[in-house]
Amino acid sequence: MILSRRPDLPLTPYVECIWHYECAAPLQCRERVLPDGRFHLMLNLGAGVAAVAGLRSHHIVIDTARVSSVMGVVFRPGAARAFLAAPAVDFCDQAIQLDLIWGWPSADQLLDRLREARTAAVRLRIVEDALVDRMKTFREKHLPMHPIMNYALHAFGNAPHIRTVADVSREIGWSRRWLSHAFAEQVGITPKRYCRLVRFQHLVRELASQRSVDWASIALDVHDKDLSRETHISSDLSEGFPARLQSLG
């Protein structure tokens, strides 16, 4: 059973949701998980392991037999930086153990409290409180996200097929090189790769909704960007997904 909650302030601008999953008889299968452009905090209560996963540029495969009792935190784009000492780009395509990020006492204490808790609702509250405490600690060391980074995220997220790094850099008055560097440090991936990922997610949602997809426009968009790089990304992201999507690569 999955239970999730949207956190209250002050976490609302940073965290999309905190979720809890528990199953008495785990399914014996392997599932492919597509990249979603988000940082995740994963807490495997059964194994006693916690890790922070950065933005991914490819799918991963999960052995569901090992996830009988797990929790997770989904951070908003660019928001995980408020809880990390290292730049977000250092976590790209990696899952790093939480004790290496927050220190082993903090990580172990959190896992112990979660395993001792009797209900999912209590566990969700424990994770929320831990995030608030951590954010207060890091607030003294890190400035909040620069408004320009917020602007860039919205620009690329709302129109990834139209807006280019050059367009946004002109609008904000930064060089393309500096924008790419600052964006990667805050969000975890370069703007160009982020736009590819957002376009891919838009396509996934279109397919899931069972609405008609304009494949001709998508093909033209791929050619308009960078065919060799874009098709490579599409194939890598969509391996194991419907054949219609794989045909883009």
Mean pLDDT of the region 87-109: 92
Cα angle 215, 238, 72; round to 5: 125
Q: Looking at per-residue confidence, does 132 or 85 come out higher?
A: 132
Is the pLDDT at 143 greater than 70? The verdict is no
pTM value is 0.82
Owner of token pair 């209250």 = 8
Q: Looking at per-residue confidence, does 4 or 202 come out higher?
A: 4
CA distance 131 to 125: 10
pLDDT at 164: 84
H runs (alpha helix) in the chain = 98-102, 104-116, 120-139, 147-158, 165-172, 176-187, 191-209, 215-225, 227-238, 243-246
- Please provide residue 50's backbone torsions phi and psi, each rounded to the nearest 5 degrees: -135, 145
Q: Which of 110, 104, 24 is nearest to 67 (CA)?
A: 24
pLDDT digits (tens, 9 = 90+) for 170-206: 999 999 999 999 999 999 999 999 998 888 888 888 7
CA distance 21 to 28: 16
- CB contact at 8 A, 237 and 58: yes
CA distance 183 to 9: 25
- If pLDDT is split at 50, 70 and 90, which confidence band does 216 have? low
Q: CB-side exposure of 238: number of CA atoms within 13 Å?
A: 24
- CB contact at 8 A, 223 and 216: no
- Taking residue 85's Cβ as centre, other Cβ atoms within 10 Å add up to 11
